[in-house]
Structure formats: structure tokens, C-alpha cells
Amino acid sequence: MSEEKIIDGKKISLMIKEEIKKDVLKLKEKGIIPTLAVVIVGENPASKVYVRNKKKGCEEVGINSLSYELKEETTEEELLNLVKELNEREDVNGILVQLPLPKHIDENKVILSINPEKDVDCFHPYNVGLVSTGNEGFLPCTPAGIIELIKRSGFEIAGKNCVVIGRSNIVGKPAAMLLLKENGTVTVCHSKTKNLSEICKTADIIVVATGKRNTLTPDMIKEGVIIIDVGMNRDENNKLCGDVDFNGCYPLAKAITPVPGGVGPMTIAMLLNNCIIKLRKFL
């Protein structure tokens, strides 16, 4: 397999982290210490891994991270009180509450309680609105990672037919918004889409974020397409795999992201970027 064709998310994320590291250093020289508060409630094993990786990412680039590991039985009120305290702390410039939360806590209420100025996940409707209106501000992490992967690999988005499969608030919808901001011609598909294959065949760029293995197969694509696979699934051997039939699509694609090593590392890099995005004005 030619390395040229594979979009190396690990390598690109390292480049971005190096850039962040330099900016963090300059901020520290000016007496500004970027600080992210990471809150996790309960024992969800996947969430614990994500939180550990996010804290490790902070360490790598010199961002200070504060850790709040709350018990599963934490009440909604207790969590909201903690968020309020973090909202008010001047030394904390980013707040991340790891989702999903235990069933007895209303996730929406918690997202709404985070000060939009500290919402590094870019989940607050205020920040979602800024993204949708094409304004400056926090960037949705996974979608921003997708844009960086495409651009830093030297591909143009403007004027290209972009198809996004998936319309979640975390990936599909904001990815469509960012591609639109880059002047792509964007089609969003989902589980009720009738002619997915025909739509995908028109695409120059396809982003797949369904959480379903083999959503995209070679019979659905045209030659020369750029494929971004967001999915994280397990195959029958418990090996991590994406939403795309990688081996099938690889020969036809101009470029394709692997799983793992594609979008995954970019999400954390873009989270770290959000931790300093509002501080860059002090550089």
C-alpha cells in the first residue's frame, strides 16, 4: 500500500500538537497557564480511556489539567454545582464533562450549564450556533480534525462534492457545517436516505460517521474519491475497525484514513487546540 494514499492522522496530529506546544510555551512566558478541567462521572471503561488520553494530551503540550472523578451516584445537582464553581474560577479556561453521563443526570442540562466561553468540546448551543453561522470561536473537535486531515494532506475542499454519512450533533452535522464553511457542496445522508449509493458515487470527498461497519463499500464510490472514516467499531476478532470497507475502497480512493490512526488522534489534538484558541489573542 502506498503511504501517499493513506492519510496519517497520527503524524498530522503530532504536527498540530507541536504547534500548540510552542503557543503554550509563549503563553506561559506571559504568565498565562492554559488549564483544562476534566470531569468524569461513573465507571464507564471507554470514557475512562478517553479521559486518560485527553489528560495525557494536555501533558504532552504543557496544558495544565485538573481532574474531577466523581462517583456514579453523584446527583445532577452536585455535578451542576461543580460546573458552576469551574465556570467561576479564573484559573480554569476550559471545562470538559465527559459524555455519556449516568442515566439519572440530564446531559442537556449539564451542557447548557457550562460557560460557553469555556466549552472546549463545542457542545453548547451557543457555540454550535457560532459554527453554523460561520463565526469564529471554538471548533467541534472531531469535525475540525477532519478538515485539518483533508487540508494538511494538500486537498482542496472548495467546489468539491462532499457527502457526509451520519447526522449526529457531535460528528455528522458539525462536519457538514465546517465543509460548507470551506466552500464544499455538501450533502448529508442518514439512515432514512433512500439512494445512498448513487449519492456517494457523486462525491469527491466522503465522510463516514455511522458507527456501522461496511457502511461504505467499493461499489458505492467513484475512482479518485477522498475517504474520511470516523467510525470506531470492533470486528469479529475484536480488532478496532471503521465504518468503511478499507481494503475494498483503498484501490479506488485517491486518499483514505485508516482506523486506527486516522481521525481518532485528530480529535484530541483539536481539543487541545480549543484549550488555547481563545488565549491566542494574547500571543
Residue 232 engages ligand NDP in binding (rule: CB under 6 A): yes
Q: Which span (34-42, 52-60, 72-80, 224-232) binds ligand NDP, by CB under 6 A? A: 224-232
Name which of 116 and 172 has its Cβ closer to ligand NDP.
172
Task: Tell me how many degrees the CA angle 261-264-269 measures, rounded to the nearest 5.
Answer: 110
SS3 content of the chain, % helix, strand, coil (to 5): 45, 15, 40
From the list 23, 118, 119, 121, the catalytic residue is: 121
121 is catalytic: yes
Placement of cell 475512562 in the chain? 48
DSSP annotation of 62:
T
Residue 9 engages ligand NDP in binding (rule: CB under 6 A): no
Residue 170 engages ligand NDP in binding (rule: CB under 6 A): yes
Residue 186 engages ligand NDP in binding (rule: CB under 6 A): no
Cell numbers found for residue 62: 504543557
Residue 54 engages ligand NDP in binding (rule: CB under 6 A): no
Residue 194 engages ligand NDP in binding (rule: CB under 6 A): no
Pairing outcome for strands 185-189 and 205-208: unpaired
Residue 209 engages ligand NDP in binding (rule: CB under 6 A): yes
In order, the DSSP letters of 128-185 are HHHHHTT-SS---HHHHHHHHHHHHTT---TT-EEEEE---TTTHHHHHHHHHHTT-E
Among 189, 199, 221, 270, binds ligand NDP (CB under 6 A): 189
Nearest CA-CA partner of 13 in 280, 271, 281: 271
Q: How far is the CB of 50 from ligand NDP (least distance, A)?
A: 9
Query: Do the beta carbons of residue 14 and residue 263 sit within 8 Å?
Result: no
Question: Rule CB under 6 A: which of 93-112 touch ligand NDP?
Answer: none
End-to-end CA distance of the chain: 42
- Secondary structure class of 227 (helix, strand, coil): strand
Among 13, 65, 210, 274, binds ligand NDP (CB under 6 A): 210
98 is catalytic: yes
Q: Which span (51-59, 103-111, 148-156, 227-235) binds ligand NDP, by CB under 6 A? A: 227-235
Q: How far is the CB of 208 from ligand NDP (least distance, A)?
A: 8
- Positions touching ligand NDP (CB under 6 A) are 142, 165-168, 170-172, 189-193, 196, 209-212, 215, 230-233, 263-264, 267
Catalytic residue set: 54, 98, 121
